[in-house]
């Protein structure tokens, strides 16, 4: 049940990110200076943490979506859904650990220096 809730929550979060992304990208046509200011705020460490959360949401949503497809379309999917969920969770944790430096490295250098 929690994977169902997490799948819906991550889907809504991704939708809101895409909505904001379209709006801030459209800002370049209205005022390039305002667009530059908005993009400059995206280079802060707080936004880097939000980006890491976005990566986490997209990765979980994608992996869990593949699990849902397997449960729906594989004859033995329902029988192995618990094992597939644990596989998704372990794979998600491993990939998120691997994403720490690429996503948060800039923020760490900005906070603590080179």
- The enclosing domain of 48 has a CATH number of 1.20.1300.10
Q: What is the pTM of this model?
A: 0.87
| Predicted confidence (pLDDT) at residue 108 exceeds the cutoff of 90 | no
pLDDT in tens, 93-105: 999 999 999 889 8
DSSP class of residue 74?
A: S
Q: What's the rounded Cα separation, in Å, for the pair 109 and 66? A: 35
DSSP per residue over 22-60, as a string? HHHHHHHHH-HHHHHHHHHHTTSHHHHHHHHHHHHHHHH
pLDDT in tens, 26-84: 988 988 899 999 889 888 889 999 999 999 999 999 999 999 999 999 999 889 999 99
Query: Is 21 annotated in some ligand binding site?
Result: no
* Structural domains in the chain (count): 1
Q: What's the rounded Cα separation, in Å, for the pair 13 and 24? A: 17
Full domain range(s) for residue 59: 1-112
Q: Smallest Cα–Cα separation from 95: which of 87, 85, 84?
A: 87
Reported confidence tier of residue 3, pLDDT bands at 50, 70, 90:
confident
């Amino acid at each position: 049940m929690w994977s169902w809730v997490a799948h819906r929550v991550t889907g809504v979060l991704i939708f809101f990110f895409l909505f904001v992304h379209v709006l801030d990208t459209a800002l370049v046509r209205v005022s390039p200076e305002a667009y530059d200011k908005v993009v400059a705020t995206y280079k802060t460490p707080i936004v880097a943490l939000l980006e890491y959360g976005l990566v986490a949401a997209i990765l979980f949503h994608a992996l869990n979506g593949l699990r849902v497809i397997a449960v729906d379309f594989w004859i033995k999917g329902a029988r192995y859904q618990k094992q597939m969920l644990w596989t998704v969770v372990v794979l998600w944790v491993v990939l998120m650990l691997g994403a720490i430096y690429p996503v948060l490295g800039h923020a760490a250098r900005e906070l603590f220096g080179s």
